[in-house]
C-alpha cells in the first residue's frame, strides 16, 4: 500500500512540475505573436476576412486573418480597410455566444 501511495504522489508532483515548466516557457509567447513588417497594397476580398488586429509597432497597420488562416498586413488608413473592420465587427456581434 505504501508503494501505491508513493507512486501516486510521484505522479502528482511530476504533473505539477510539467504544468509549471510549460507555463514558464517564454519561447511559446514569442512564436505566437506576429508583427506587420511589409504591407500589402492590394485590396482584399472582405468576404474572406474573419478577424483583425490593430498594430502600431513597427508600423501603423491592420493585420487581417483570412478564412484559410493566412495573415495579411495592410495600411490602416485605407477606406476599404475601415469597411472590412466594420463588417467583421458586425459579424462578431451577430454571432451567438
What CATH number does domain 34-97 carry, 2.40.50.40, 3.40.50.720, 3.30.2350.10, 2.40.170.20?
Answer: 2.40.50.40
The pLDDT score that the predictor gives to residue 22 is: 41
State the DSSP H helix or E strand holding residue 88, giving kind and residue range, or none if neither: helix 79-94
Does the pTM surpass 0.95? The reply is no
Q: Percent of the chain, pLDDT > 70?
A: 66
Q: Which pLDDT value is given to residue 56?
A: 85
Could you tell me which residues are beta bridge partners of residue 74? 40, 62
The predicted structure's pLDDT at residue 44: 94
* Terminal C-alpha separation, the chain: 49
Taking 80 as the threshold, does the pLDDT of residue 54 lie above it?
A: yes
Mean pLDDT on 38-66: 92
Rg over alpha carbons for the chain, rounded to the nearest Å, is 22
> What residues does each domain of the chain span?
1-32, 34-97
Q: What is the mean pLDDT of residues 10-35?
A: 47
Amino acid at each position: 500500500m505504501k508503494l501505491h501511495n508513493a507512486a501516486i504522489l510521484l505522479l502528482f508532483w511530476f504533473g505539477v512540475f510539467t504544468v509549471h515548466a510549460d507555463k514558464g516557457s517564454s519561447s511559446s509567447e514569442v512564436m505566437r505573436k506576429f508583427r506587420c513588417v511589409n504591407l500589402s497594397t492590394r485590396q482584399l476580398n472582405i468576404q474572406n476576412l474573419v478577424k483583425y488586429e490593430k498594430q502600431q509597432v513597427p508600423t501603423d497597420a491592420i493585420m487581417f486573418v483570412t478564412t484559410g488562416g493566412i495573415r495579411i498586413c495592410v495600411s490602416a488608413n485605407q477606406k476599404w480597410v475601415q469597411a472590412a473592420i466594420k463588417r467583421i465587427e458586425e459579424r462578431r456581434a451577430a454571432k451567438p455566444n
